[in-house]
Structure formats: C-alpha cells, structure tokens
Amino acid sequence: MVKVPVTCDEDTDCPSGDFCKSDGTRSPKLPDGSACTTSNQCRNDDCEETTCTSFTASGNGLLSSCSVGEGRGARGSGGLALLGLALVAAVARRRK
C-alpha cells in the first residue's frame, strides 16, 4: 500500500477529492454551502461569492438555461430560474 504524504505544495500532490491548503496541508474538498476563497476548495470546483456552489447558468441575458448540481436540494430548485425566464420574456414583450 502506497502512503500519501500529509503535506503538499499544490493540488496535484493530493489524492482525488482533496485540495492543498495555503499552509501546505491536505484537506477534503468542501461541500456546497461551505465558505471558500478559491474554486479548487469545492467538490464541484465552483466558488461563487465565497461560497461553494454547483449552480451553473449560461445564456445571453434574454435566453438562459440553468442547472443545479448534486447536493443543492430545495434551496437550488429550478423554480427560481423559471420565474427569471418569465420575467425576461415579459420585459422583452413590453419593449416591442
């Protein structure tokens, strides 16, 4: 059995699912909702406004799509995205 070192210099020194902290120690990647400073600290590799998240949005502002990653539960339901799309459509119609 190969022992993995406890210290690291970068993320590639860590096993999958861990990241290298600034003090040179390994740490498990953080779940959604955890405080973060960089994306490499999060399980989903997404740190938005100092919080690990798995919410992904794409589009040009008029037509958008979004998806919620694993672990978001009711907090990340698609209902808010549908409401946003409905509001964009209403504003676009009003401008015509």
pLDDT in tens, 74-96: 445 455 666 666 777 766 666 65
The pLDDT-based confidence of 3 (bands split at 50, 70, 90) is low
The pLDDT-based confidence of 54 (bands split at 50, 70, 90) is confident
- The single-letter DSSP state of residue 38 is S
Q: Tell me the whole-structure pTM to 2 decimals.
A: 0.54
The alpha helices in the chain, defined as continuous H runs, are 79-95
Q: Count the alpha carbons within 13 Å of 49 in the hemisphere toward its beta carbon.
A: 2
CB 84 within 8 Å of CB 75: no
